[in-house]
Structures are given as structure tokens and as C-alpha cells.
Amino acid sequence: MTVDLRVTTDEFLSWSRTVRAGEGILLSGTVFTARDAAHKRIFAAVKNGDPLPFDIKGAFIYYAGPTPAKAGLPVGSCGPTTSSRMDIYAPTLYRMGLSATIGKGPRSEKVREAIGESGSLYLCAVGGAGALAAQRITSVEVIAYDDLGCESVKRMTVSDLPLFVGIDAKGNSAFAEIKK
């Protein structure tokens, strides 16, 4: 992977419109993990007007369910899950101000449109490289839905997590380019 840009979650607005689909980045900052079960609960809270476990506006959600940490480490393996499983929730969350999601695989047309409308991003991690991704995680804290085990919502700090832009802020998809 060629790295085109080193970026932080805090500086999202300054770099999000400059990266293009297919470009590689190294991401540092705060991300939240949420998979299928957590998304279902988050979405129910949104519909009911209940408090959310974290502020969606400006957040980065990593579709991952990290395994338990080994002694002395903040987390075990932390690879991405298939993003399309969250496609029924993603457009609403993007429209609420979600900055980016991180996962693997292509997204639906509705998600691509929501990303383009909101100026957000879809970032991709390499599937099957969860042990390598875990080396880029410096801290992990369960913040919600502890009963879900590995699928609980966690706040993680990442340092130079290697990703590529799957869908850029204009709605251009790296997956569409691959199909061509």
C-alpha cells in the first residue's frame, strides 16, 4: 500500500476533502468499534431519542470486534468485519454527522450517496491482518454494551493505522474503479 497522507481524526475537516478513493492513509486518533449487534442497539437509541454511547457527530466507527488482549497489550486481534452488514444503518449515521467508517468490502449505493452528501468517508482496512492492525492500537476502553463481549462498543486510540479510502467525500468509490 502506498501511503499518500498521514492524518488524525481531530483534523478530519482539513484533510477529508483532499483524499481520493483508492489513496492510502495512516490514521491516528480516536475510533469507536461497533459491529452488527452494537449497531442494532445504537440505531434503536437513535429512533427512540435515547442517549448514544458516544457522539456520532465527528466520530469514526471501526467495524471490528477485537479479541481479548494478551498480557501487556491493549487488545488482541482487531481486523475489520464486512461493512455491507451495517449498510442498513450507515446512511442515517452519516447524515447525523459521522465522519467515517472503517471496514472491508464494497458498500451499497445508498451508503455511497450518503457519504457524498455528507462529505464523510469510508475507509478500508486489510481483511485478515487483524494481528497487524492490533499493533497500531495504543489503548482500548469498553464504553457501552459490555454484555456483547467482543462486539461491545469500545473507544480505541490508534497510531498510524494503515487504511485506504474506499469512498471519498465526493462519493467516488475505489470499488467502482476496480470493476472498470
pLDDT in tens, 95-146: 999 999 999 999 999 999 999 999 999 999 988 889 989 999 999 999 999 9
Return all residues near 5 (Cβ < 8 A) that are at least 6 apart.
Answer: 15, 18, 19, 23, 24, 25, 26
In a domain, 40, yes or no: yes
- Domains: count for the chain: 1
In a domain, 179, yes or no: no
In a domain, 94, yes or no: yes
Pick the range with the lowest mean pLDDT from 19-23, 92-96, 166-170, 174-178. 174-178
Q: pTM of the prediction?
A: 0.94
Domain of 79?
A: 3-13+30-65+73-163
In a domain, 126, yes or no: yes
Closest CA to 86 of 138, 127, 39: 39
Backbone angles phi, psi at 75, to 5 degrees: -160, 155
Identify the CATH number of the domain in which residue 152 sits.
3.20.130.10
Task: Name the grid cell of 12.
Answer: 478530519
Task: Name the grid cell of 30.
Answer: 480516536
In a domain, 174, yes or no: no
In a domain, 180, yes or no: no
In a domain, 171, yes or no: no
pLDDT in tens, 53-99: 999 999 999 999 999 988 888 999 999 999 999 999 999 999 999 99
In a domain, 47, yes or no: yes
| pLDDT band for position 40 (cuts 50, 70, 90) | very high
DSSP-derived secondary structure letter, 64: B
